[in-house]
Amino acid sequence: MSLPAELPRLIATDLDGTLLRDDKTVSPRTVAALAAAEAAGVEVIFVTGRPARWMDVVSAHVHGHGLAICGNGAAVVDLHRGGAFVETRPLRPENAMDIAAAVRAAAPGAVFAVERTTGFHHEPDYPSLEFEPAFQVAPVERLLADEGDDHAASPVLKLLAFHPALDPDAFLALARTVTGGHGEVTRSSPTALLEISAPGVSKASTLARRCARHGIAPGEVVAFGDMPNDLDMLGWAGTAYAMANAHPAVLAATARRTASNEEDGVARVIEGLLAEHGATVS
């Protein structure tokens, strides 16, 4: 595990499979490391595919600015204000409709869900979440309609596509060939579940926009990730670490390694950075 020569101005970290343990908790060691980084003047920002309403697990560990990048870059939210939306980069419903039609034609059996700022909606055969019932269950054409209820007027942050039989990476490659530039396709789940954002929207592009506004260069950023939806961010940051448990594509593309999420890999790097520059983690 090599360390950059200078203390970074910003640490950008994914959550699931990266900062969080497998049980979706933040370990005491990681809590201490995040607080120590902020105390040393290093901004920490969470950059995740999660929606804002799933951020309670880390909301107590955002210091200072209180912001997080959610939905693979589709939203910036303020965790100090209960996940209030600060900025959105929505997917146009007509683009989402074109993508759904193309993916369904190329991969019969695909089913879809729509993530809006107001909540989650899915088709009847889409795997439901026990802890989060959908606001609306209907064909994707109905879910993407721009009339009929209050939810339809809210921005679409992501289109999700699930296939019950395809290999996850094969499904990702296939979808990328048929979307025709209508959206950015990635994945972070171990299943064949794709996450589709507006063209040009990714963790990297939204993080870059935020950094540019605050005069932070890529070389002043350290990033952590584990799945294909982290690749652009890891490639953009001046220093990037793949978790030991990362997807093979992430391991292949990222020179630096840290320990797994279960072994507090992010905290270990932060501790090393601070120690190199005379700070400590209490």
- Note whether 125 and 85 are within 8 A (CB): no
Check residue 136 and give its pLDDT: 87
Whole-Å CA distances, 21 to 14, 66, 83, 268: 12, 22, 22, 14
pLDDT digits (tens, 9 = 90+) for 85-128: 999 999 999 999 999 999 999 999 999 999 999 989 999 999 98
Q: Residue 14 pLDDT more than 80?
A: yes
Architecture of domain 93-197: 2-Layer Sandwich (3.30)
- Write out pLDDT tens, residues 123-165: 999 998 777 777 888 999 999 986 555 566 799 999 999 999 9
Neighbours of 102 (CB within 10 A): 16
Residues 269 and 260: their CA atoms lie apart, in Å, by 11
| Arch. (CATH architecture) of 10-88+202-276 | 3-Layer(aba) Sandwich (3.40)
- Residue found by looking up tokens 């992501």 in the block: 158
SS3 147: coil
Strand partners, 195: 160, 186
Domain boundaries, the chain: 10-88+202-276, 93-197
Pick from 77, 98, 72: nearest CA to 197: 72
CA–CA separation, 215 vs 26, rounded Å?
30
Residues in the chain: 282
